[in-house]
Structure 1
Amino acid sequence: MSSIIVGSKPLHPATVHFPIAFLTTSWALDLLYSAVTNVLPKSNFLAKSLSPHLPTLTVISHYSLALGILSGVVSIVTGGAQLSKMISNGGIYEADGKTMRPKVKTAFVHAGMNDVAILTAAFSWWVRRGNVDVLTGAVVPTSTNVLISALSLPSLLYSADLGGKLVYNYGVGLSMGKKGKAN
């Protein structure tokens, strides 16, 4: 599999922002919903302010989750292609043949965590899909959804940070040091 590129740049860095944004939105809204309905006292200012909007927030969360899954699949495919190209260009191991190259190790952890995030999001969507409140139209997160959100959100953000390290610490996806074309 060769790297999926547009012009001379890999496509993966352009696709990753969408699943990060959609899944962060979904999982944060699920946690907010749980806080307003289960944790905060009804007299709390935040609870009072958000309560009328909870049905809308649950719908936004549900569709953000679906969009995060769909855009995440695109990011997994483009990231897999970029990882394959990176390995074919430099190999997995250092010159000693025993030590895994740090950027490859980071890329494997990054890829694995994101694969788990998308699979977990798909499971969360499956659990939630039939939990529609017919009176309000809300797609209410279950306790399973809230637990998934609480565990997955920090993991997703850490994995996104690893992706940033691949770019900024290891130069993955960049043409650093190349001279531009002469005019």
Structure 2
Amino acid sequence: MSEAARARSRSLLSDELKASLKPAPPPRMQANVNTTEPKNPLKKPIHPAVVHMPIAFIGLACALDVLNTFSTSLPGFISNNLLVANDATRASYYMLSLGLLFSIPAVTTGVGEAKKAIDKQGLYEKDGKTIKQKFKGVIAHAIANDIVIVVMAYIWYCRRSAAKQSLLGKVGLSSVATPEASYAPAFWMVVVEALMGGLQLFSANIGGSLTYNYGFGMNIGGGGKKAV
């Protein structure tokens, strides 16, 4: 066979192979590989975003009152850099007010998202009697926060009432720098605030454990490890 014939045969064979070959179909992708992700990324839990505000404001209010009350017992380099007493009590009062206001969305979103998680995953273990460990944490977290909010709201009310009942408060001069008019807390209030600050930190620790150990705050507790 001549060189021209062999070249023509190779060309025809190559054309036939090219015609018979078809591109492989693209691999089929699953619609949603990660089933723990919500279908709508905008519908994220709101509670983790708003809960930091009451923790910060109430915690700062308690810290200011405790530092102001025991300022004479603190080292000089600390007490000399604290706010003036009346400014500190007034600042703590307004921060407490903000903390209580931000507690409203924190509580409502927390209750709503906890209910969604319970409806989705069930409250009890397989035996139908034992509450799941993570939901025990949710209940403890909610109770501790509710105690803090109720007690601090009562302290806020007492401080406001005392300021209004003071002589300057009655004549509309509550901004004048006197202890009563500047919302100064009584000693028992400061002691209770210190206890509530500790309880709030305990509750925040539970909330952190629920987030990092069980995935709460990420797709309504859909991720994370399972409770044992």
Q: TM-score range by the shorter chain?
A: 0.7 to 0.9
- Matched letter for residue 177 of structure 2: T
- 1:10 paired residue number: 45
Give the counterpart of 1:40 among 45, 51, 73: 73
What is aligned with 1:95? Answer: 126
Q: Distance in 1 between matches of 2:41 and 2:108?
A: 15
How many angstroms does 1:131 deviate by?
Answer: 3.6
* 3-state secondary structure, aligned to 1:169: helix
Matching residue's letter, 2:107: I
Q: Determine which of 167, 172, 176 is the counterpart of 2:216.
A: 172
2:102 corresponds to which residue?
71
- Give the corresponding residue for 1:25: 60
| 1:55 Cα offset (Å) | 1.4
**Separation of aligned partners in 1, 2:113 and 2:99:** 20
Quick one: higher RCO (CA 8 Å, sep 6+), 1 or 2? 1
Please state whether the residue corresponding to 2:84 is helix, strand or coil: helix
Query: What corresponds to 2:141 in structure 1?
Result: 110
Aligned to 1:54: 85
Q: TM-score normalised to the size of structure 1?
A: 0.84
Q: Which runs of 5+ in 2 are unaligned?
A: 1-39, 169-175, 224-228
Per the TM alignment, residue 22 of structure 1 is displaced from its structure 2 partner at its CA by 0.3
Aligned to 1:124: 155
* 8 Å Cα contact 1:15/1:74 also seen in 2: yes
Which residue of 72, 93, 115 corresponds with 1:84?
115
* Aligned residue among 172, 175, 193 for 1:149: 193
Percent identity over paired residues: 37
Question: Does residue 1:136 correspond to 2:183, yes or no?
Answer: no
Query: What TM-score does the superposition give when structure 2 sets the normalisation length?
Result: 0.68
Tell whether the 8 Å contact from 1:73 to 1:118 is kept in structure 2 after alignment.
Answer: no
Q: 1:49: how far off?
A: 4.2
| Root mean square deviation, CA, Å | 2.2
Larger Rg: 2
Q: Count the aligned residue pairs.
A: 169
Q: Deviations over 1:83-137 (max 9, x none)?
A: 1001100111001112110111000000111111110110010111134485415
- Shift of the alpha carbon at 1:48? 4.2
